[in-house]
Amino acid sequence: MDEIQELLEDFLIEAFEMIEEMDQDLVELENSPDDLDLLNKIFRVAHTIKGSGSFLNFDKLTRLTHHMEAVLDKARKGELTITPEIMDIILESVDAMKGILEYIRDNGDDSAPDIDIEPIVAKLDAIVNGENKSKEEGSSEKQKNEKPTKIGNINLDEITLENADEIDLDSLEPEELDAVLEHLVELRNKNEGPKKTGNINLDDITLENADNIDLDSLSPEEADAVLDHLVNLRNQQPAQPNKDSQEEKKEEPKNEEKEEKKEESKQITPAKKQELSNEQKKKEVKKTISSIAEQTIRVDVKRLDQLMNLIGELVLAKNRLIKIYNDVEERYEGEKFLEELNQVVSSISIVTTDLQIAVMKTRMLPIGKVFNKFPRLVRDLSRELGKKVKLIIEGEDTELDKSIIEEIGDPLVHMIRNSVDHGIEPPEERKKAGKPEEGTVWLRAYNEGNMIVIEIKDDGKGMDPELLKKKAIEKGIITESEAANMSDKEAFMLIFKPGFSTASKVTSVSGRGVGMDVVKTNIEKLNGIIEVDSIPGQGTTFKLKIPLTLAIIQALLVASQEDLFAVPLSNVIETVRIVEEDIYTIEGKSVLKLREEVLPLVNMADVFEIEKVLQPEKYLYVVILGLGATKIGLIVDRFIGQEEIVIKSLGEFLKGIPGIAGATIRGDGRVTLIVDVGSLMRLAKETHNKKVVTESLNEAKKRKEKPEDYTVMLVDDSAMDRKIMRQALEELGVNLIEAKDGVEALQLLKSNDVDAMLIDIEMPRMDGYTLAQEIRKYNKYRKLPLIAVTSRTTKADRVRGVEVGMNEYITKPYTAEYLQNVVRRNLGL
């Protein structure tokens, strides 16, 4: 049973692949109907499916392919020219084949009750009989249905396999005989399918391939049947060419098989030749399959996923190792073992990266898998719409992660439909515009850094930004003032808004305003970006940019106030440094003018409702995020850098928090949250509508003008020294608080708003260096002036002071005036 199951699976995989290929070839054939090689190829595919199908007892499938094959064979021999009408029917039967195959895949048999092959078979037969040149489908069908039931004096419906013996064949007219025989063959095909014994299909066994049969594996009856069959075959061989012996033999109902052969040879084509070449082809196929099998193995995707997870862990460990190495390097500068350590760390990091790429590659599939269905789609569409469209595909070898390949199909279908339906004009219109009647759609894929770009381009009528805006205003998608501030590129993006439809008349193909909206959502799900460019009268170009893989990503680490976030680099268009004057407020909404574009601007701290503790600085740092068709500027407080991160889930309880896609573990072992750009964009939009950035920036800014507004902390273990400092600074009028060691100073710092600190170096519990180091760990104290006041005067001491983050170094003793000046300068008084 397992063997059969395996066989079935192989058959399905092969059949689906072949049918896909056939689809493409057929469309190509339509363009060059005389290409004999192509015809032969298509014919072979149909034949192979028929052969394997009958082997597995799929009668419905076999019957359909058989009739299709007949048409193809006629075309192959030059007796039939493939017209678009005939192609429609062939393609229809290919679709039915697909349907049946899908049913087999899901249910294990080919009963497929939803698919009625009879009308298709009738149409195919009509073509073979040369009746369907341009006639209505219905009439030929009717003819076909009436025809077989009654021929001459014989009512075919009365003839069954059981009563076939009773027919006096000699008394029949030649046509009657033909009809009866055809009817019998059909009956047999319907009722029994190919002759079968146990698991063996005798029809597939010929003298040529008899050697391949493993007799030991057969049951006694099966072996007997096979041997009988072979003996029969050998006896028949010399007799076969003898056409005269036909009639006598047909009277023996046992030899139905032979009947079929003769029947076919008379009725449609020399079937015997086919059958023979079939065997040859089967051998060829077997050969190619076995040679491929030596080089490839099928692997369960789950195993690859597991491998990918392990590599993720390895990447984290590697990041951590690099971090530790950097720490060690600082501490033991010049030591010999550092060199060795460095070598190990670099080689591990190189191997890890290579390993990651290698595993990623095992999950990659050529995008051709998706592209393959488009020639057919474009062909059907252009016929339906009465347009002439040529599809040019490039870069189908470009590889993408399997999971992405699965997601990308639907959006691409929508986009191609859109290009053919809305982009390309009808032939007359094109002619008037001085363009060739036949429009062209390009579908192109290529790599660009860590992204893959899929480009859909047409040479159609293009889009008019003003028209789009007008339409969007009519539909209430944007307001007039919004439209006035909109650049052309932004206007093109309107087509991705829900409820927007550009075609003035809605066709069955597109124009319901659903498609493009769905495209946007799907691309965003993959962290992709959409770009649109269009020139009226010359065509439109869509670019989908999608990251190569989903599990390990490059991220930009940014800090908003004290919190770190990782932003997927694929969504970062650029980072800019601006000053507050670059921000404009239009109707209560903040925007950033960046070159030609006007971008909505929000503060990340507002989006995530992070408490503001940092004083605003002169320069603001902005991340320009792009997702799908939208762009937005996000103000952060610091850029940390770019890092490779592994996406981890936040677990059942926390997953699905708005704006957060997951978490990653950094080299120092801390957890950093990963931003979900899609969700962040939605949050940002809300924030943008209610919060003016310039106001939000000033929330943390407490106006300090007078010296009384400032607080200075004095840290010294000697009460005497504190007193000297106090006396010197009281004249300034600033507030003073005192701490007698580093530990106390840290506590006081947290509960007080301190503007500057004077720090002694030598103190119990925690010395001044350590205190400075601890303070600098907090983002909000990054700029807090720290002034060392000490009697240690060597150069090494000063260097150490700078290293731990001291701003100034004052040596004892000092004059009161000097201290005041230093403090005043550091406070900006």
Partner 1 sequence: MGSLNEIVKQQQQSLTKPEENQFEEVVQLVGFIVGEEEFAVPILSIQEIIKPIEWTKVPFTPDYVLGVFNLRGNVLPLIDLRIKFGVPANNIDENTRFIVMKIKNEDVAFIIDRLTSALRIQKKNILPPPETYSNEDEIIEGVGRMEDGRIITILKVDNLIRREEIVPNSE
Exactly one of 608, 621, 769, 809 binds partner 1 (CB under 8 A); which one? 608
Q: Is 829 a binder of partner 1 (CB under 8 A)?
A: no
| Pick 660 or 732: Cβ nearer partner 1 | 660
In whole angstroms, the minimum distance from the beta carbon of 666 to partner 1 comes to: 9
Cβ atoms of 800 and 809 closer than 8 Å? no
| Pick 213 or 743: Cβ nearer partner 1 | 743
Exactly one of 536, 658, 733, 828 binds partner 1 (CB under 8 A); which one? 658
Among the candidate windows 94-102, 234-242, 483-491, 650-658, which touches partner 1 by CB under 8 A?
Answer: 650-658
For helices 2-31 and 36-55, what crossing angle results, to 10°? 160
Cβ atoms of 649 and 731 closer than 8 Å? no
Q: Is 651 a binder of partner 1 (CB under 8 A)?
A: yes
In whole angstroms, the minimum distance from the beta carbon of 495 to partner 1 comes to: 26
Exactly one of 4, 289, 586, 657 binds partner 1 (CB under 8 A); which one? 657
| Pick 147 or 648: Cβ nearer partner 1 | 648
In whole angstroms, the minimum distance from the beta carbon of 360 to partner 1 comes to: 21
Tell me, rounded to whole angstroms, the distance of Cα 587 from its chain centroid: 39
| Pick 324 or 610: Cβ nearer partner 1 | 610
The sign of the CA dihedral 379, 382, 388, 393 is negative
The sign of the CA dihedral 39, 44, 49, 51 is positive
In whole angstroms, the minimum distance from the beta carbon of 688 to partner 1 comes to: 17
Site for partner 1 in 664-693 (CB under 8 A): 665, 669-673
How many alpha carbons lie under 13 Å from residue 761 in its C-beta half-sphere?
Answer: 21
Q: Is 558 a binder of partner 1 (CB under 8 A)?
A: no
Cα 263 from Cα 265, distance rounded (Å): 5
In whole angstroms, the minimum distance from the beta carbon of 260 to partner 1 comes to: 59
For 462, phi then psi, to 5°, come to 75, 180
Exactly one of 150, 655, 706, 825 binds partner 1 (CB under 8 A); which one? 655
In whole angstroms, the minimum distance from the beta carbon of 751 to partner 1 comes to: 11
Q: Is 653 a binder of partner 1 (CB under 8 A)?
A: yes
Q: Is 650 a binder of partner 1 (CB under 8 A)?
A: yes
Number of Cβ within 10 Å of residue 527's Cβ equals: 23
| Pick 321 or 509: Cβ nearer partner 1 | 321
| Pick 170 or 652: Cβ nearer partner 1 | 652
In whole angstroms, the minimum distance from the beta carbon of 678 to partner 1 comes to: 13
Cα 714 from Cα 514, distance rounded (Å): 67
CA distances to 151, 154, 245, 377, 530 from 148, in Å: 7, 10, 26, 36, 58
Alpha helices in 336-373, H assignment, sequence order: 336-362, 368-371
Site for partner 1 in 314-373 (CB under 8 A): 316
In whole angstroms, the minimum distance from the beta carbon of 610 to partner 1 comes to: 7
Among the candidate windows 116-124, 407-415, 608-616, 803-811, which touches partner 1 by CB under 8 A?
Answer: 608-616
Mask for 512-541, x = binds partner 1 (CB under 8 A): ------------------------------
Site for partner 1 in 446-505 (CB under 8 A): none
Cβ atoms of 785 and 815 closer than 8 Å? no
Cα 760 from Cα 788, distance rounded (Å): 6
Among the candidate windows 350-358, 451-459, 528-536, 656-664, which touches partner 1 by CB under 8 A?
Answer: 656-664
Among the candidate windows 198-206, 276-284, 661-669, 732-740, which touches partner 1 by CB under 8 A?
Answer: 661-669
Among the candidate windows 606-614, 626-634, 719-727, 756-764, which touches partner 1 by CB under 8 A?
Answer: 606-614
In angstroms, the first-to-last Cα distance of the chain is 90
Alpha helices in 251-270, H assignment, sequence order: 256-267
How many alpha carbons lie under 13 Å from residue 499 in its C-beta half-sphere?
Answer: 8
Among the candidate windows 3-11, 336-344, 450-458, 648-656, which touches partner 1 by CB under 8 A?
Answer: 648-656
| Pick 152 or 498: Cβ nearer partner 1 | 498
| Pick 220 or 651: Cβ nearer partner 1 | 651
Exactly one of 38, 610, 743, 766 binds partner 1 (CB under 8 A); which one? 610
CA distances to 298, 308, 568 from 647, in Å: 27, 12, 10
How many alpha carbons lie under 13 Å from residue 594 in its C-beta half-sphere?
Answer: 21
Cα 530 from Cα 542, distance rounded (Å): 7
In whole angstroms, the minimum distance from the beta carbon of 317 to partner 1 comes to: 9
Cβ atoms of 734 and 710 closer than 8 Å? yes
| Pick 301 or 654: Cβ nearer partner 1 | 654
Cβ atoms of 320 and 352 closer than 8 Å? no
Q: Is 777 a binder of partner 1 (CB under 8 A)?
A: no
| Pick 158 or 652: Cβ nearer partner 1 | 652
Supply the residues annotated as catalytic.
47, 69, 418
In whole angstroms, the minimum distance from the beta carbon of 654 to partner 1 comes to: 5
- Number of residues this chain uses to bind partner 1 (CB under 8 A): 27
Q: What share of the chain is helix, strand, coil (3-state, %, to 5)?
A: 55, 20, 30
Closest CA to 683 of 654, 650, 661: 661
Cβ atoms of 207 and 230 closer than 8 Å? yes
Closest CA to 628 of 549, 525, 547: 525
Site for partner 1 in 77-106 (CB under 8 A): none
| Pick 142 or 682: Cβ nearer partner 1 | 682
Cβ atoms of 514 and 428 closer than 8 Å? no
Q: Is 625 a binder of partner 1 (CB under 8 A)?
A: no
Cα 415 from Cα 457, distance rounded (Å): 10
Mask for 292-321, x = binds partner 1 (CB under 8 A): ---------------------x--x-----
Q: Which one-letter DSSP state was computed for residue 497?
A: S
| Size (the chain), residues | 829
| Pick 548 or 749: Cβ nearer partner 1 | 749
- Is the peptide bond prior to 813 cis by the omega test (within 30 degrees of 0)? yes
Q: Is 725 a binder of partner 1 (CB under 8 A)?
A: no
Scanning the structure block, which residue is given the tokens 């801390």? 670
In whole angstroms, the minimum distance from the beta carbon of 683 to partner 1 comes to: 9
In whole angstroms, the minimum distance from the beta carbon of 454 to partner 1 comes to: 28
Exactly one of 648, 780, 782, 792 binds partner 1 (CB under 8 A); which one? 648
Among the candidate windows 81-89, 101-109, 584-592, 605-613, which touches partner 1 by CB under 8 A?
Answer: 605-613
In whole angstroms, the minimum distance from the beta carbon of 675 to partner 1 comes to: 10
Q: Is 564 a binder of partner 1 (CB under 8 A)?
A: yes
| Pick 254 or 690: Cβ nearer partner 1 | 690
What are the DSSP E strand ranges found in 512-618? 529-535, 539-547, 552-560, 563-568, 572-579, 583-586, 589-594, 597-603
Instruction: Report helix, strand or coil for 506.
Output: coil
Closest CA to 527 of 403, 622, 644: 403
Cβ-defined contacts of 270-277 (< 8 Å, 24+): 272/240, 274/47, 274/69, 274/73
- Residue numbers at the binding site for partner 1 (CB under 8 A): 313, 316, 563-564, 608-610, 648-660, 663, 665, 669-673
